[in-house]
Copies of this chain bind each other. A is one copy, B any other.
Amino acid sequence: MTAAEVVALLHAELGDRVDLSPAALEDARSDKSGHASAGPPLAVVHAASVADVQATLRIAHRTGTPVVTRGAGTGLAGAANAGPGEIALSVRRMDRILEVRPDDLLAVVEPGILNADLNDALAADGLWWAPDPASRAISTVGGNIATGAGGLLCAKYGVVRDAVLGVDLVLADGRLLTLGHRSVKGVTGLDLTSLVIGSEGTLGVIVGATLKLRRLVPGHRRTITATFPDVRAAAVGAAAVTASGVQPAIMELMDAASLGAAHALLGLPAPAPGAAQLTIQTDGPAAIDEAESIASTLGALGAVVRLAADDGEAEHLLTVRRSMHPAMESLGTALIEDVAVPRSRLPEMFDEIARVEREHGLRIPTVCHAGDGNLHPNFIFQGTEVPPEIWAAADDLFRAALRLGGTLTGEHGIGVLKRRWLADELGADQWELQRQITRVFDPTGILNPGKVFAP
Contacts and interface: CB of A to CB of B under 8 A. Distances in A.
A154 interface: yes
A215 interface: yes
Interface string A338-352: 001111100000000
Interface residues of A, number: 81
A1 interface: no
Interface string A361-392: 00000000101111000000000000000000
B161 A410 contact: no
Nearest to A165: B342
Interface stretch (A20-28, A45-53, A99-107): A99-107
B185 A344 contact: no
B408 A188 contact: yes
Contacts of A245: 126, 215
Interface stretch (A5-13, A134-142, A420-428): A420-428
A419 to B, nearest CB: 10
A190 interface: yes
Contacts of A298: none
Interface stretch (A54-62, A273-281, A326-334, A435-443): A435-443
Given A183-B407, A197-B191, A177 B429 contact: yes
Given A215-B245, A285-B286, A429-B177, A410 B199 contact: no
A159 interface: yes
A346 B311 CA distance: 42
Given A106-B342, A162-B162, A190-B434, 11 more contacts: A104-B342, A154-B185, A181-B340, A183-B340, A183-B343, A183-B374, A185-B340, A188-B409, A188-B422, A285-B285, A437-B440
Q: How many copies does the complex hold?
A: 2
Chain A, interface SS category: loop
Nearest to A247: B215
A430 interface: yes
Contact of A150 (B159, B185, B189, B410): B185
Nearest to A407: B186
B177 A430 contact: yes
Contacts of A175: 429
A148 B182 contact: no
Contacts of A150: 185, 187
6 contacts: A101-B344, A177-B430, A181-B406, A184-B373, A187-B413, A194-B197
Given A183-B342, A285-B286, A189 B452 contact: yes
Nearest to A430: B177
Contacts of A425: 188-189
A106 B185 CA distance: 23
